[in-house]
């Protein structure tokens, strides 16, 4: 909903499964927090809200999105807000009216279900009555494709919190005393508010493709549009604490979205258009506010160094009053890694930077729209070493649509070239498997089943040559793809997998148990879908329509080698 640290496939899968009757202990260290806003005093009869993060406190409190939405809620006098994490909570009201979740990682769904159980709230929205809270959710996962989780939520907020959150709360206050069906029908009229129960999926067959998702009657909007904040006053931390995953960090969102628009990148396509905060009137006052309570600054955004005034920001941060400040940057555009940047980072305690190259093959980089020459990557390594950095981490990907086995060999060759160009610089290649994401041009492509073999080939070539190779789990990428491309038929599968232990094997067991009731795993994960096939999220409109995404896809496939398969459903699935 707002800025996040850029990650390739999320974080570790933390599972918390206390017995349903066991209450969460009051262990989260809220007393160590330094608030950078003033919470409102709740008015008489204020609506009670519990705002939850489906993971541990140290992870949740490091999420800028969670921080900002919590502060927005807490600054409303018509709400009384408590926070809930998997390992602690603030004092909770006896009767909860609204229960919200910020979800930024697909596999946290199991923790959401556990938190619902801990509060004696039915897991399925259809089982809730007037005595239960309205359960709402937001965040990048739910904005992209909420369908696998639709049965767990009464309300889903699609888009930027700056736009949709207050509109949702204002509308709720007008129907607060009404019954649940009346509340949901009223809320469905708010732009960006999606009420899953008011939409009905239609399938070609129990194991076939989706045919459509339609509103249950003409009073419900046929399409729910993601809401986009178009201003340039971006997000900053609302709290600083030593218990955050990044200790005492104060975060400033420098840019939102990314001008590069890599074809696979949810962070680019879901958050368009590219927006930048002004340096003089925005970023400098924000930095001064944060540095009054801490000495650690984090600059956030999908492409921070592409801010048009980024050099001016570096000049400001290099002033003597910031000599003791520790500086971290979430993402660095490879061709902006110059010695001014690296010397600034070294001066402020950073020993390494991370760049995303996706592939050593220039052809593959053209496929994904990564406007980057190999010389730019080499120059980044040379400048990193010359600027005093000791390490450089690169992000790559295996199984990109149109990729050939020799492209992975080129990636290995590039890493060895960097070792020679910048001797002594510690090199790490983190490599993920391509996972299709909704609302991106590659949403029609499945996961390449050869990706695992290609990751192992990279490992064989790089580790003996002194390069730290860190592949992300191919098998968990399969589960992530299943969820990111799924529809509502996955709900019983997710519940079954959780009962089987929420492990990799539990998903295979669940598919076996539900055989004949939903499509096979390959349909969701590996199949290339037809271009005119209805998608599970077609009734949820992002900024770019499907026709535009297809034009971007055509641009990508123009760089494919001859005879490379393009999105058309495999014959075995048609």
Distance, CA of 574 to CA of 555 (rounded, Å): 26
* DSSP β-bridge partners for residue 355: 394
Note the pLDDT of residue 570.
Answer: 42
pLDDT confidence of residue 438: 97
pLDDT of residue 27: 63
Q: Which helix (H) or strand (E) holds 471?
A: strand 468-471
For residue 184, give the nearest of 192, 157, 194, 227 by alpha carbon. Answer: 194
Nearest to 462 by CA among 412, 513, 511, 506: 412
The DSSP-derived string for 487-542 is -TTHHHHHHHHHHTTSSHHHHHHHHHHTTTSS--HHHHHTPPPPTTS--TTTTEE-
**Which helix (DSSP H) or strand (DSSP E) does residue 340 occupy?**
helix 339-347
Residue position matching structure tokens 């490879």: 334
Domains, the chain, with CATH or none: 30-225 (3.40.50), 230-331 (3.30.750)
- pLDDT score for 330: 85
In sequence order, what are the residues at sequence separation of 6 or more whose Cβ sits closer than 8 angstroms to the Cβ of residue 510? 493, 494, 496, 497, 500
Structure tokens at 363: 């052809």
State whether residue 325 is helix, strand or coil.
coil
The pLDDT of residue 379 is: 97
- Mapped onto helix, strand or coil, the DSSP state of residue 338 is coil
Q: What is the DSSP string of 129-194?
A: -TTSPEEEEESHHHHH--GGGGGG-SEEE-B-HHHHHHHHHHHHHHTTTS-HHHHHHHHTTSTTEE
Six-digit token pair at 330? 């979430």
Residue with the two structure tokens 């592949």? 471
CA distances 45 to 48, 77, 80, 137, 180, Å, are 9, 10, 9, 24, 19
Task: Look at residue 568 in the predicted model and tell me its pLDDT.
Answer: 58
Cα–Cα distance for residue pair 103/63, rounded to 1 Å: 10
Q: What are phi and psi of 280, to 5 degrees?
A: -65, -50
574 residues of the chain, pLDDT tens digit each? 333 323 333 333 333 333 333 444 556 789 899 999 999 999 999 999 999 999 999 999 999 999 999 999 999 999 999 999 999 999 999 999 999 999 998 989 999 999 999 999 999 999 999 999 999 999 999 999 999 999 999 999 999 999 999 999 999 999 999 999 999 999 999 999 999 999 999 999 999 999 999 999 999 999 999 999 999 899 999 999 999 999 999 999 999 999 999 999 998 999 999 999 999 999 999 999 999 999 999 999 998 999 999 999 999 999 999 999 999 998 799 999 999 999 999 999 999 999 999 999 999 999 999 999 999 999 999 999 999 999 999 999 999 999 999 999 999 999 999 999 999 999 999 999 999 999 999 999 999 999 999 999 999 999 999 999 999 999 999 999 999 999 999 999 999 999 999 888 999 999 999 999 999 999 999 999 999 999 999 999 999 999 999 999 999 999 999 878 777 544 333 3
**Which CA distances in Å does 468 have to 190, 350, 412, 425, 432?**
50, 19, 12, 12, 14
| Residue 380: predicted pLDDT | 97
φ and ψ of 102, to 5 deg: -100, 120
CA–CA separation, 291 and 295 (whole Å)? 6
The Cα–Cα gap between 472 and 485 comes to 19
> Is the CB of residue 312 less than 8 Å from the CB of residue 260?
no
């Amino acid at each position: 909903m707002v800025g996040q640290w850029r990650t390739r496939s999320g974080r570790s899968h933390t599972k918390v499964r206390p017995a349903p009757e066991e209450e969460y202990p009051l262990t989260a260290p809220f007393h160590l927090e330094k608030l950078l806003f003033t919470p409102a005093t709740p008015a008489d009869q204020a609506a009670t809200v519990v705002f939850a993060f489906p993971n541990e406190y140290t992870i949740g409190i490091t999420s800028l999105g969670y921080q900002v939405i919590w502060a927005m809620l807490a600054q409303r006098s018509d709400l009384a807000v408590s926070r809930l994490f998997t390992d602690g909570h603030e004092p909770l009201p006896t009767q909860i009216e609204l229960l919200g979740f910020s979800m930024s990682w697909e596999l946290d769904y199991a923790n959401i279900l556990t938190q619902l159980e801990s509060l004696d709230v039915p897991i399925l929205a259809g089982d809730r009555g007037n005595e239960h809270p309205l359960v709402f959710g937001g965040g990048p996962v739910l904005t992209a494709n909420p369908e696998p989780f639709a049965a767990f939520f009464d309300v889903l907020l699609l888009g930027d919190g700056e736009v949709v959150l207050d509109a949702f709360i204002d509308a709720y206050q007008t129907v607060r005393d009404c019954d649940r069906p009346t509340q949901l029908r009223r809320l469905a009229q708010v732009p960006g508010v999606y009420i899953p129960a008011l939409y009905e999926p239609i399938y070609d067959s129990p194991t076939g493709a989706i045919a459509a998702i339609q509103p249950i009657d003409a009073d419900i909007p046929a399409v729910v549009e993601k809401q986009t904040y178009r201003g340039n006053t971006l997000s900053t931390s609302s709290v600083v604490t030593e218990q955050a995953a990044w200790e005492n960090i104060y975060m400033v969102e420098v840019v939102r979205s990314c001008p590069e628009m890599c074809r696979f990148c949810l962070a680019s396509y879901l958050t368009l258009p590219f927006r930048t905060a002004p340096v003089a009137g925005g970023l400098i006052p924000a930095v001064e506010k944060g540095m009054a309570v801490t000495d650690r600054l984090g600059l956030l955004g999908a492409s921070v160094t592409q801010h048009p005034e980024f050099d001016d920001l570096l000049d400001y941060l290099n002033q003597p009053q910031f000599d003791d400040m520790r500086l971290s940057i979430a993402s660095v555009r490879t061709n902006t890694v110059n010695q001014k940047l690296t010397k600034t980072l070294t001066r402020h305690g950073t020993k390494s930077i991370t760049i995303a190259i996706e592939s050593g093959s220039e052809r593959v980089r053209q496929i994904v729209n990564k406007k980057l020459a190999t010389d730019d990557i080499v120059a980044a390594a040379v400048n990193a070493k010359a600027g005093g950095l000791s390490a450089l981490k690169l992000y790559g990907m295996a199984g990109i649509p149109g990729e050939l086995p020799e492209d992975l060999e080129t990636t290995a060759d590039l890493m060895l070239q960097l070792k020679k160009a910048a001797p002594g610089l510690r090199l790490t290649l983190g490599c993920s498997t391509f996972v299709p994401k909704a609302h991106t041009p590659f949403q029609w492509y499945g996961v390449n089943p050869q990706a695992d073999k290609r990751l192992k080939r990279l490992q064989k070539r790089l580790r003996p040559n002194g390069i730290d190779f860190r592949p992300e789990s191919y098998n968990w990428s399969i589960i992530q793809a299943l969820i990111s491309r799924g529809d509502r038929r996955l709900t019983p599968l997710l519940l079954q997998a959780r009962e089987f232990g929420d492990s990799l094997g539990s998903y295979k067991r669940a598919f076996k148990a539900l055989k004949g009731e939903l499509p096979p795993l390959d349909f969701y994960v590996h199949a290339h879908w037809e271009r005119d096939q209805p998608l599970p999220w077609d009734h949820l409109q992002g900024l770019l329509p499907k026709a535009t995404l297809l034009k971007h896809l055509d641009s990508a496939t123009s760089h494919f080698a001859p005879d490379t398969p393009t999105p058309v459903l495999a014959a075995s699935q048609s």
